Structure 1
Amino acid sequence: MKSEEQIMSKPATPNDVETETPREEPGEAAVEAVVRLEAEVADLKDRLLRALAETENLRRRAERDVSDARQYAVSKFAADLVGVADNLERALASVPAEARRGSAVLKTLSDGVALTGKDLMQVFEKHGIRRIEPLGERFDPHLHEALFEVADPSVPSGTVSTVVSPGYAIGSRPLRAAKVGVARGGPAAAADGG
């Protein structure tokens, strides 16, 4: 056995002494790395939020496009059928009322044409197509086509006083503008305060 003196006189080796390594304070490099990583996380988070927002906007836009496509897909076809509705009305107007009363054949033919026109209007309504009858309304260049002016001091200027041909719209979009005569010479039309 070794005596205490022998142990004490022997120089200590690294294995004999438990060395405590002092905790190092974070260095500048570590702080810079943390700051850099936090900035990178913030940037990635911002990019993710922007990508999610863009995806949501695309989804909404696609839904709106699909809805518009459903609503307005028949626009060209409907615009062509508007002429058919006009021709049915002209056919009815071409037969005088006296002739209809005097002839059973003309009455039956007129009734058939009138029913066909009524059915066509029901089909239009079913598909969101409405007839624009603007008589007495304020002139709207989006829905009306002014063909002439009428001097009429009894109604406000800018009021539709004559409808030459009705217009048609599908949803909020016009298929065909109503062809109208617009009054002038009366008091100024009141602006919509809506």
Structure 2
Amino acid sequence: MTDSNETTTAPETDAAPQQQAPASSDAVATLEAEVASLKDQLLRSMAEAENTRRRAQKEREDTAKYAVSGFAKELLAVADNLRRAIEAVPAETRAGSEQVNTLLTGVEATERQLIAAFDRAGIVKLEPMGQPFDPNFHQVVAEVDGTDKPAGTVVTILQPGYTIQGRLLREAMVCVAKAGPNSAKVDTSA
């Protein structure tokens, strides 16, 4: 009798694993999908963290590069005034007075030191004379008649412009050649 009991229970145990096999494969598929989803989330999170790190690094670099911009703008007026002082003294006055010559030599030395400090900070003076008007770097103050230059060419620099690390610090204030009667008008608005 024990043999018959064993035979009757054996088919039941064989049937149970067959019923669990489809459930196990469903569970495995679900777990694999969840693992794939979690891997995707992990990769996205890692990419976002890397992008955040790069953005923060760039912000630190930009802050270091352009931290002196406000101070540099104020020093541009000093550079302008040093140049005006040098240009205000006629050559004959300078040659006729040793004191004036000595004073101007000191002003020129101060200007050279300031320009060297600008160079170290990445501040570059714009030299637009004879170049076409560029609204990104120039501000037109006036148009001048009677020049032999093409319309829109910078003919006078009233105030020099500067860049810092390639970024505009101050526009150059310029006068440009006026369009002749047969020339197209230059757009001087920015």
Give the counterpart of 1:89 among 83, 100, 122.
83
Note the C-alpha offset of 1:155: 2.2
- Residues in 2 aligned to 1:31 and 1:18: alpha-carbon distance in whole angstroms: 25
Higher mean alpha-carbon deviation, 73-82 vs 170-179, is at 170-179
- 1:79 matched to 2:73: yes
C-alpha RMSD over aligned residues: 2.5
- Residues in 1 aligned to 2:2 and 2:117: alpha-carbon distance in whole angstroms: 110
Structure 1, unpaired ranges of 5+: 1-9, 189-194
Higher mean alpha-carbon deviation, 121-130 vs 87-96, is at 87-96
Contact 2:152–2:179 under 8 Å retained in 1: no
Residue number in structure 2 paired with 1:70 = 64
More helix by share: 2
Report Cα offsets for 1:134-167 as digits up to 9, x if no partner.
1112211121111011235632222212111111
Residue number in structure 1 paired with 2:40 = 46
- Residues in 2 aligned to 1:110 and 1:42: alpha-carbon distance in whole angstroms: 76
TM-score w.r.t. length of structure 1? 0.82
- 1:127 matched to 2:160: no
Please show how residues 12-161 of structure 1 align to structure 2 within 5 Å. Answer: 12=3, 22=14, 24=18, 27-152=21-146, 154-161=148-155
Residue number in structure 1 paired with 2:172 = 178
Letter of the 1:137 partner, please give it.
Answer: Q
Letter of the 1:118 partner, please give it.
Answer: R
Report Cα offsets for 1:77-109 as digits up to 9, x if no partner.
000000000110111112111110000000000
| Count of residues paired in the alignment | 180
% same residue: 46
Letter of the 1:120 partner, please give it.
Answer: L
Q: Evaluate the alpha carbon distance shift between residue 152 and residue 24 of structure 1 in structure 2; reply closer, same or farther with a 3 A threshold.
A: farther
Contact 2:79–2:111 under 8 Å retained in 1: yes
Counterpart secondary structure, 2:62: helix
Contact 1:136–1:160 under 8 Å retained in 2: yes
Structure 2, unpaired ranges of 5+: 185-190
Residue number in structure 1 paired with 2:187 = none
- Residues in 2 aligned to 1:25 and 1:154: alpha-carbon distance in whole angstroms: 97
- Residues in 1 aligned to 2:178 and 2:40: alpha-carbon distance in whole angstroms: 60
Report Cα offsets for 1:99-141 as digits up to 9, x if no partner.
1000000000011101110110011001100111211122111
- Residues in 2 aligned to 1:176 and 1:16: alpha-carbon distance in whole angstroms: 98
